[in-house]
Amino acid sequence: MPRHPAPGARTARGRDPRPPERAPLETEYRPSGPTDVLRAVRHQQHGAHDPTMTVSGDVLWRVTRTPLGVATLALRIGSTRVRAAAWGAGAAWALDQLPRLCGADDDPDGFDASRHPLIADAHHRHRALRLGATDRVFDDLASAIFEQKVTGLQAFGAWRSIVTWRGERAPGPTPRPMFAPPADWHMIPSWVWHRAGLEPPQSRTVVATARRRASLERTLTADAGGEEHERVLTSLPGIGPWTSAETRIRAFGDPDAVSVGDYHLCHTVGYALTGHRTDDDGMLELLEPWRGHRQRVIRLIYAAGAFEPRRGPRLHPEDHRDR
């Protein structure tokens, strides 16, 4: 596992202002069956330059804000085991939660891949696919709000800026500066959101929702179930079916969640299953035979690379910030 740096190690700007790190907590997780841990965990990444996740060599690094404080996880993922080290106040929580992050609670029993040849082939080639869960519902909700009605490039850039500017520096010997999501989302001023490039409707929704963070995290537990998660999330101003589904997928590994309203998803599902585009209603009709595992089908479609050929230029992101 990563070696602990010597106390007093210097950074490029001089002496590291953080106190010397304690030795990490360590554990080893052995999945009960074939599990694509790397795919399960990396699904939580917000773009290539996400300050909360990176891969360096053969180690995946992830930073999260747990109920006990910030934690940094370093995962060395093998074919049959995951060696994990964790630093920070939330280290013990992060290691206890590690199996769920890796997809241990995702149960594919009852999934019938034989209903469609593409899904059957993808399932055969990706039998180890599992849906991981973070159990950090508010931060996952915030990241989904960032992605409402904008390109991934815009959303990931805004996420990177806000988390780097307002988040907490990750503990441990991370390969580059990494940060946990902010604790004070509701205290971020409007000019910071504007500078980051997030539109006012999204920033206002994050701020308003952050004021209810404690009650949301008490209510939205893994035991509550998808229908209750959907009811609570969509009762919040600015949270619709797409944001609810994205949150449930990330926080709870919901195997049935479908991000209705996504610009590309219905086209991708329609093309993969019929060879033609469809709309949201058509997508839901196509996925209905797999109810209970609809997100699993979507993941298999993406794993199979069954995408419609591009026929036009990419959408050019708009930027309304002053230059």
The predicted pLDDT at position 225 comes to: 84
- Cα separation, 49 vs 118, in Å, equals 32
CA 21, 22, 27 angle in degrees (round to 5)? 120
Which of 68, 56, 57, 60 shows the shortest CA–CA distance to 40? 60
Q: Determine the length of the chain.
A: 323
pTM given for the model? 0.88
Examine the pLDDT at 289 and tell me if it is beyond 90: yes
Long-range contact set of residues 75-78: C-beta below 8 Å, sequence gap at least 24: 75/37, 75/41, 76/1, 77/37, 77/38
Question: Which of 2-16, 159-173, 176-190, 292-306 has the lowest average pLDDT?
Answer: 2-16
Q: How far apart are CA 74 and CA 193, in angstroms?
A: 30
180 touches 51 (CB < 8 A): no
- Please give the average per-residue pLDDT across 142-162, as a whole number: 94
Write the pLDDT tens digit of every residue in 51-62. 999 999 999 999
Summarize pLDDT for 120-137 with one digit per residue, the tens.
999 999 999 999 999 999
pLDDT at 319: 57
- For 22-68, where are the E strands, in sequence order? 25-29, 53-56, 59-66
CATH label, 20-114, candidates 1.20.1250, 3.10.20, 3.30.310, 3.40.50:
3.30.310
Integer angstrom CA distances of residue 273 from 16, 40, 304, 307: 54, 23, 12, 11
**Which tokens hold the place of 91?**
């280290």
Give the pLDDT score at 10.
37
